[in-house]
Copies of this chain bind each other. A is one copy, B any other.
């Protein structure tokens, strides 16, 4: 849905709201697509209209509505839901979405909601919330159908039919033993192709791909992507089936992880979207910039140490921004390759050493090419062989180091499980600035002393 369609849809809802035709409103709002319903609710600017919109919705529509709202809008919608039905609405929400919602609410608000829920659902949600953030356990829902291997295809379809009334989406049937350990899975296709009297044991696929509850969500996304799955069972250490993760959650994970990678590379604040308010965006971006400013001053002190060299050959300053910039550029390139690689590859020693060797070679090749190029340019521009040599040699060395810094720093942070947001592009660029100035002025000072320009 694009902005134009949303405006149109919202206008239509507003006109029905203003007509005060309650039956018409209910028919309309309850038959909307869940995503559209959420977007229109967020778009309504008048709180009275939001209230009337919420009051027109049935329990199942309300449960869907909450899934598609941002945390702030969820709080508004909840405040308009009749207390008498709130518990039922929450019980009907998929428990992964519910856990996500409770997670961002303030503790007392979350507790109040848990209180109105059925005890069983409340327990399930609280269990989910004990799993670490961004783990498979957090993404899973208990809305899956399990069967036993000695059931027939006909019996399984009957069970499925029962559950279909309650669950929106059912992708696979999971086969478990009496201890609820997972034995296999059967798809609709398997059921369709089998005879009604066949036993499940005969038609199920054995050894389904499973994931343990504590595994990182990126690993889950990788498995679903690699094996083209629509849902994936989550198990505990004893292989007991705990729940399933569906592909729509994985899509959200992929988008979230890509956004995180980009925030990391750019040093932009977390979660700045087109909708973020100026002051919030400012507050999120400033800390990084102040840190980079202070680190950037280090380059100033380095230059001040070489003040004498610089005063002797002012032309050295001409090449300063280019050398610093190029070192940052090659570092950023390497960083991007590593950051992206970390999300799509499992990292082991072999991979890491191959990567470092590769990037060293690339760094040397880039350094030699660019170094020779700039040496000639500097010589023809300033007419000094010494200056050409200083600039070329400096660029060669800084490009090799810059490339390696962009490769090794994120790998080290990854190894020590440090939040890789620290290895942002701007930080690498700023560190490479400092490194390149040290190398440049170091080489210049020692060479000028011996071969004056």
Instruction: Show the binding face of A for B, using Cβ within 8 Å.
Output: 1-4, 33-35, 157, 160-161, 164-165, 167-171, 188-189, 192-193, 209, 224-228, 230, 247-248, 250-252, 254-255, 257-259, 261-263, 265-269, 272-274, 276-279, 281-282, 285-286, 288-290, 292-293, 296-297, 299-301, 303-304, 307, 310-311, 314-315, 317-322, 324-326, 328-330, 332-337, 339-341, 344-346, 348, 350-351, 354-355, 358, 361-362, 365-366, 369-370, 373-374, 377, 425-426, 429-430, 433, 437
Q: Which residue of B lies closest to A221 (CB)?
A: B251
Docked Cα-Cα span, A358 to B373, in Å, equals 42
In the assembled complex, which residues on chain B have CB atoms less than 8 Å from the CB atom of A344?
255, 273
Q: How many copies make up the complex?
A: 2
Q: Kindly identify which residue among B263, B281, B339 contacts A362, using a CB–CB cutoff of 8 Å.
A: B281
Q: Please name the 8 residue pairs, one residue from A and one from B, whose CB atoms are nearest each other, closest first.
A: A266-B336, A258-B258, A296-B322, A2-B346, A300-B318, A268-B333, A278-B361, A228-B248
Distance (Å) between the CB of A452 and the closest chain B CB?
18
In the assembled complex, which residues on chain B have CB atoms less than 8 Å from the CB atom of A366?
282, 285-286, 289
Q: Which residue of B lies closest to A330 (CB)?
A: B289
In the assembled complex, which residues on chain B have CB atoms less than 8 Å from the CB atom of A307?
314-315
Q: Kindly identify which residue among B225, B279, B289, B319 contacts A326, using a CB–CB cutoff of 8 Å.
A: B289
Q: Kindly identify which residue among B2, B272, B304, B311 contacts A311, using a CB–CB cutoff of 8 Å.
A: B311
- Asked if residues B193 and A370 are in contact (CB atoms below 8 Å), the reply is no
Q: Kindly identify which residue among B192, B332, B336 contacts A157, using a CB–CB cutoff of 8 Å.
A: B192
Q: Which residue of B lies closest to A360 (CB)?
A: B278
- Asked if residues B3 and A377 are in contact (CB atoms below 8 Å), the reply is no
Q: Which of A161, A317, A374 has the most CB of B within 10 A?
A: A317
In the assembled complex, which residues on chain B have CB atoms less than 8 Å from the CB atom of A350?
3
In the assembled complex, which residues on chain B have CB atoms less than 8 Å from the CB atom of A433?
321, 325
In the assembled complex, which residues on chain B have CB atoms less than 8 Å from the CB atom of A437?
321
- Asked if residues B157 and A169 are in contact (CB atoms below 8 Å), the reply is no
- Asked if residues B285 and A345 are in contact (CB atoms below 8 Å), the reply is no
In the assembled complex, which residues on chain B have CB atoms less than 8 Å from the CB atom of A4?
348
- Asked if residues A426 and B332 are in contact (CB atoms below 8 Å), the reply is yes
In the assembled complex, which residues on chain B have CB atoms less than 8 Å from the CB atom of A272?
337
- Asked if residues A303 and B278 are in contact (CB atoms below 8 Å), the reply is no
12 A-B pairs within 8 Å (CB atoms) are namely: A1-B226, A164-B193, A247-B247, A268-B334, A278-B362, A289-B330, A290-B373, A296-B322, A300-B321, A324-B324, A328-B328, A429-B429
- Asked if residues B267 and A265 are in contact (CB atoms below 8 Å), the reply is no
In the assembled complex, which residues on chain B have CB atoms less than 8 Å from the CB atom of A228?
34-35, 169, 248
Q: Which of A169, A334, A358 has the most CB of B within 10 A?
A: A358
Distance (Å) between the CB of A377 and the closest chain B CB?
7
In the assembled complex, which residues on chain B have CB atoms less than 8 Å from the CB atom of A301?
318
- Asked if residues B193 and A374 are in contact (CB atoms below 8 Å), the reply is no
User: Given A247-B247, A289-B326, A255 and B225 touching (CB < 8 A)?
Assistant: yes
- Asked if residues B317 and A310 are in contact (CB atoms below 8 Å), the reply is yes
In the assembled complex, which residues on chain B have CB atoms less than 8 Å from the CB atom of A247?
230, 247, 251
Distance (Å) between the CB of A48 and the closest chain B CB?
25
Docked Cα-Cα span, A359 to B171, in Å, equals 44
In the assembled complex, which residues on chain B have CB atoms less than 8 Å from the CB atom of A269?
333
- Asked if residues B289 and A336 are in contact (CB atoms below 8 Å), the reply is no
In the assembled complex, which residues on chain B have CB atoms less than 8 Å from the CB atom of A164?
189, 192-193
Distance (Å) between the CB of A334 and the closest chain B CB?
8
Docked Cα-Cα span, A161 to B189, in Å, equals 8
Distance (Å) between the CB of A358 and the closest chain B CB?
5
User: Given A251-B225, A297-B322, A346-B3, A370 and B268 touching (CB < 8 A)?
Assistant: no
In the assembled complex, which residues on chain B have CB atoms less than 8 Å from the CB atom of A320?
303, 317, 320-321
- Asked if residues B304 and A341 are in contact (CB atoms below 8 Å), the reply is no
In the assembled complex, which residues on chain B have CB atoms less than 8 Å from the CB atom of A345?
274
- Asked if residues B161 and A429 are in contact (CB atoms below 8 Å), the reply is no
- Asked if residues B310 and A314 are in contact (CB atoms below 8 Å), the reply is yes
Distance (Å) between the CB of A448 and the closest chain B CB?
16
Docked Cα-Cα span, A329 to B169, in Å, equals 45
In the assembled complex, which residues on chain B have CB atoms less than 8 Å from the CB atom of A321?
296, 299-300, 303, 320-321, 324, 433, 437
